[in-house]
Copies of this chain bind each other. A is one copy, B any other.
Amino acid sequence: MSEPARPQRRNEIRQQNETLILQAAEKVFAEAGFGGATMQLIADLAGLPKANLHYYFATKEELYRKVVQNIFEIWLHAADSLDNAPGPIEGIGAYIDAKMEISRRHPDGSKVWASEVMHGAPVIQDYLETTLRDWTAGRAALIQRWIDEGKMAAVNPEHLLYMLWATTQHYADFGHQIETLNGGPLTDAQWLRAKDSVKAMILRGIGAV
């Protein structure tokens, strides 16, 4: 085997421990916020001594930055569904599907992102001003094109994007509230219904039928 299951190859040690730490960090940052999170908690969750964390990530800020950057990557790739779609029904429908799936599979990441933005984006302000800004402008233009082609109602593209973000991420960021009102975690069927409800209301709301 050239790729053994429990190896101690140098390359893999680094890779393995870094992802281990990043996963633990994402969870702790999501649950406690940046200020409430402690390196000791992250270390315990990762099953490593605290000093080992500082070997891979010099400071708490650096570790946090990596966590946020990872989330941002996932976020952006979710938008591939929007592009190359013939119209809003397929494009926005698929985008909602993708974002709802992220809310379900990566709720911690969503919370860290929300927390970061709520606190004024001290770490990823530059991303907002460059990458996200360009991204938004591009998709707004795409939506405007669909409007001009008579494929949907003349809604404001930016506010439509905000609504898409808000509605889908709500199921992650406010998942605890939803679970409390629901009397427990959403089942597969309930997630499906949530997704369908969101898609139905938004697609009808933008006149794409």
Measured between beta carbons, the chain B residues less than 8 angstroms from A171 are: 162
Contacts of A177 in B (CB 8 A): 117, 121, 128, 132
A110-135 vs B: 1/0 string, CB under 8 Å?
A: 01001101111100010011001100
Q: Does A94 contact B (CB under 8 A)?
A: no
Main secondary structure of the interface of A (DSSP, over half): helix
Q: Do B205 and A119 touch across chains, with their CB atoms under 8 A apart? A: no
Whole-angstrom distance between the alpha carbons of A202 and B36 in the complex? 37
What bracket does the count of chain A residues touching chain B fall in? Answer: 35 or more
Query: Which residues of chain B are near A198, meaning CB under 8 Å?
Result: 159, 163
Q: How many protomers of this protein does the assembly include? A: 2
Cα separation A121 to B180 with both chains bound (whole Å): 10
| Residues B166 and A129 in contact, CB atoms below 8 Å apart | no
Q: Is A37 an interface residue (CB 8 A)?
A: yes
Q: When A and B form their complex, which 10 residue pairs have the shortest distance between CB atoms, in order from nearest?
A: A35-B36, A205-B205, A35-B35, A166-B170, A159-B197, A201-B205, A33-B33, A166-B166, A128-B180, A156-B197
Which residues of A are at the interface with B, using a C-beta cutoff of 8 A? 30-37, 111, 114-115, 117-121, 125, 128-129, 132-133, 136, 153, 155-156, 158-160, 162-163, 165-167, 169-171, 173-174, 176-178, 180-182, 193-194, 197-198, 200-207
